[in-house]
Amino acid sequence: MAKGLAQRLMTQGKDDSERIKFLYQSLSCRDATAKEQQVCMQLLQQARSKYKADPAAAEAFVGKSKLSLELAAWSQLTGVILASDTNITLY
């Protein structure tokens, strides 16, 4: 589920901020708070750094493609958001 949502997010918006906004609107029917936006950006950057340093881990996570690094980072973020208390209680 996280990978599919990440693939959709990668086609939405012109930048990470807009994609995070779309993520929260899609899952929680609200905008992310400033703190949520900040934490999501930090998690996304950490995931990108992790997968840039270890491309094989990204490919193992989401499969091999030219977008594996970015898809793996977004998949990791969407997995965290899907597992958050707010989204669990909504669904």
Predicted pLDDT of residue 84: 82
Segment 18-52, tens digit of pLDDT: 999 999 999 888 999 999 999 999 999 999 999 99
Query: What is this structure's pTM?
Result: 0.88
DSSP secondary structure letter of residue 11 = T
CA distance linking residue 59 with residue 56, whole number of Å: 5
Segment 56-67, tens digit of pLDDT: 999 999 999 889
Average the pLDDT over 61-90 and give the result: 86
Confidence category of residue 89, pLDDT binned at 50, 70, 90: low
- Residue located via tokens 């209680």: 89
